[in-house]
Amino acid sequence: MPELRKDPVVGRWVIISTERARRPNDFNTEPVRPRGGPCVFCTGNEDKTPPEIVAVRPPDTTRDGPGWSLRVVPNKFPALRIEGDLEPSGEGLYDRMNGVGAHEVVIETPDHYASLATMSIDAVADVFLTFRDRILDLKKDPRFEYVLVFKNHGEAAGASLEHPHSQLIATPIIPIMVTEELAGSQQYWQRKERCVWCDVIRQERRDRRRVVAESAGFIVLEPFAPRFPFETWILPVRHRSAFEESGVEELRGLAEMVGTFLRLMNRTLGSPPFNFMLHTAPLREGAVEYFHWHLEIIPKLTRVAGYEWGSGFFINPAPPEDAAEALRAAAP
Amino acid sequence: MPELRKDPVVGRWVIISTERARRPNDFNTEPVRPRGGPCVFCTGNEDKTPPEIVAVRPPDTTRDGPGWSLRVVPNKFPALRIEGDLEPSGEGLYDRMNGVGAHEVVIETPDHYASLATMSIDAVADVFLTFRDRILDLKKDPRFEYVLVFKNHGEAAGASLEHPHSQLIATPIIPIMVTEELAGSQQYWQRKERCVWCDVIRQERRDRRRVVAESAGFIVLEPFAPRFPFETWILPVRHRSAFEESGVEELRGLAEMVGTFLRLMNRTLGSPPFNFMLHTAPLREGAVEYFHWHLEIIPKLTRVAGYEWGSGFFINPAPPEDAAEALRAAAP
């Protein structure tokens, strides 16, 4: 029997479609395999990107020269522009403002063929430390209300370059999905005086069926009402609302879990394209008791079609309990 | 300068990205061209589908035999199951219920190579009349709160069969996107005592820049804050909340506009894959003053990536004013 399940944070129902149930091998996904460099993000082509904002590089190397292990550069084709004021205005019943924002690219490694699944823990930790530092820096700009960090891996997941990279976009507006998570978790707090994600973690740890992996600091789980097959959340076990307040050791722990999960995913699903998105509290909120930062990872296995676009109601052919079991079974 | 624009109904902001602006020819979309029949939806293969629910066929033909011009059959791989009760239950902090619902397929024509863009007005009108009649029939089932009619055209838009067809899913829950439209339009009504879509139509008719086509009964427009390039809405000019209360003449007018628009779209964008979704008032609402039914059409031209999935904030590289101009210019 198919099941309707409701996300406990935002109240979004999904359809877990057992009649169309699919096993890991049933998804016909092209594995992501780099066709080859060098590309504009490779060492030696530093002049092909806009000048670097920050980099992880030895002190004897020069800015925009070789020798780096990670670079952050402005996106060459930014969705938003860094200069200017918002100048909100109306047009009859419509509202608009200037598209002011920051759009940056984190080049995660000089190695065109590496990935977060194969890089060392230290190198992956540098990526997450860089996210933290960029958020802290962009927070100083009073025009911005939110920084969303995300990754498109593989062409089918929206990547236009195959060299390992992630991105961030700072906006003068809190994105609607974060607003919905804030509203849902605040309502839960008002009723229970507990963080809904902390409650989810407690219940999942007892239940075990949807837990993929765990460490002292982090838990990897398949959510109860996932929109997509093998949708995965990674959360800090201790309550934390602002990602940018994480310490070095915490982010090293996160790097370890992200690497572990991506290797399980690659073994289970054949190195699929994927997206990840970091949900943290808005820049001006500070530490809030009801929000809990988390990383959402979505392998790109199915097409989103008319029903989903028209309803917001996702049909998911992979029950999360089965997905978690398959991922756990891929552990070495 | 890129622009942030807010949808006047649901309050969703989008980014109209001029730095990444794209012209109709810049979208590298494979045209949808049927590879060939006969398939399970073709005449002569009526026994390959579940038994028909209704059909448009001459009186001297027999059920599930040839001679029909349109058939409605249950989906062979339904997302939801028609039998059973909801049996809502909890699991700790989670909510679930049985996946009860109807999932039907409207086979729009016996001609494997036809499409709504090439079929006669009468044949297209039969498709919309069938949607109406199926909604009226499913409304009798007290378990259902909503019927969403939609179409996936072309593999990239999620179609698994190329024979012209559309689908409907009846659910015991009002989909979240409809709930958001209802909430937004009700708020607008409370402030203005006017329907927000009626106001949109009035403003667009004066402004003209986003109007693609118009008839006595319908208007085709590019919305002010579209999520996708060439996203298009078709609305009845007179206020109507429930699609299923439309008369035969009205639906003939709709059929004419849908055909006209699809031909403009095919000429402008090279017969792209597309989805359409019908938004009508919930089954139990009846005629409401604040909701206005409409058809949303989305050509599949870009990939949705991590930023959109994480934020709900869509980056649209085609300003709707430019899209409307390109579509108008394609008129014969």
Quickly count helices (H) and strands (E) in chain A.
6, 15
Q: Which of B165, B239, B292, B294 is catalytic?
A: B165
Strand partners, B102: B170
Strand partners, A147: A170
Helix (H, G, I), strand (E, B) or coil at B46: helix
Domain ranges in chain B are 3-329
Sign of CA dihedral A321, A325, A326, A330: positive
For B154, name the nearest residue in chain A, comparing CA atoms only: A305
> What DSSP designation does B212 have?
E
Q: Is the CB of A92 inside 8 Å of chain B's CB atoms?
A: yes
Q: Compute the C-alpha angle B284/B288/B292, nearest 5°.
A: 105
Helix (H, G, I), strand (E, B) or coil at B26: helix
Q: State the average pLDDT for chain B.
A: 95
Give pLDDT, residue B76: 92
Distance from CA of B298 to the nearest CA of A (A): 9
ipTM: 0.94
Strand partners, A170: A102, A147
Q: Is the CB of A310 inside 8 Å of chain B's CB atoms?
A: yes
Interior/surface letters A199-224, b for 16+ CB within 10 angstroms, e for the rest:
bbbebbeeeeebbbbbeebbbbbbbb
Helix (H, G, I), strand (E, B) or coil at B106: strand
Query: E-strand spans in chain B?
Result: 3-6, 13-16, 54-56, 70-74, 89-91, 94-98, 102-107, 146-153, 165-171, 211-214, 218-221, 232-236, 274-279, 294-299, 314-316
Provide, as residue numbers in chain B, all residues whose Cβ is less than 8 Å from the Cβ of A3. Answer: 96-99
Answer yes or no: are the C-beta atoms of A116 and A124 closer than 8 Å: yes
Give pLDDT, residue A23: 79
Confidence of residue B29 (pLDDT cuts 50, 70, 90): confident
Q: Is the pLDDT of residue B322 over 80?
A: yes
Give pLDDT, residue B233: 98
Burial of B139: CB neighbours in 10 Å, binned 0-12, 13-18, 19+? middle
Pairs of residues, one from chain A and one from chain B, whose beta carbons lie less than 8 Å apart: 231
Distance from CA of B141 to the nearest CA of A (A): 18
Answer yes or no: are the C-beta atoms of A248 and A109 closer than 8 Å: no
Give pLDDT, residue A314: 95
pLDDT digit of tens for each residue in chain A (332 aa)?
899 999 999 999 999 987 767 778 888 788 999 888 899 999 999 999 999 999 999 999 999 999 999 999 999 999 999 999 999 999 999 999 999 999 999 999 999 999 999 999 999 999 999 999 999 999 999 999 999 999 999 999 999 999 999 999 999 999 999 999 999 999 999 999 999 999 999 999 999 999 999 999 999 999 999 999 999 999 999 999 999 999 999 999 999 999 999 999 999 999 999 999 999 999 998 789 999 999 999 999 999 999 999 999 999 999 999 999 999 999 98
What is the Cα–Cα distance from B138 to B127, expressed in whole angstroms?
16
Q: Which of A153, A163, A165, A239 is catalytic?
A: A165
Answer yes or no: are the C-beta atoms of A314 and A16 closer than 8 Å: no
Q: Compute the C-alpha angle B240/B241/B246, nearest 5°.
A: 55
CB neighbours of residue A57 within 10 Å: 18
Helix (H, G, I), strand (E, B) or coil at A187: helix
The single residue listed with the structure tokens 């607003």 is: A179
The single residue listed with the structure tokens 């409701």 is: A6
Q: Within 13 A of B69's CA, how many CA atoms are on the CB side?
A: 13
Catalytic annotation present for A165 = yes
Q: Which distant-in-sequence residues (6+ apart) come within 8 Å of A120 by Cβ?
A: none
Provide, as residue numbers in chain A, all residues whose Cβ is less than 8 Å from the Cβ of B83. Answer: none
Q: What is the pLDDT of residues B88-129, one digit of tens each?
A: 999 999 999 999 999 999 999 999 999 999 999 999 999 999
Strand partners, B332: none
Give pLDDT, residue B30: 86
Give pLDDT, residue A270: 95
Q: Which distant-in-sequence residues (6+ apart) come within 8 Å of A247 by Cβ?
A: none
- Cα distance between the two ends of chain B: 33
**CATH number of this structure's domain A3-329:** 3.30.428.10
Q: What is the pLDDT of residues B237-263, one digit of tens each?
A: 999 999 999 999 999 999 999 999 999
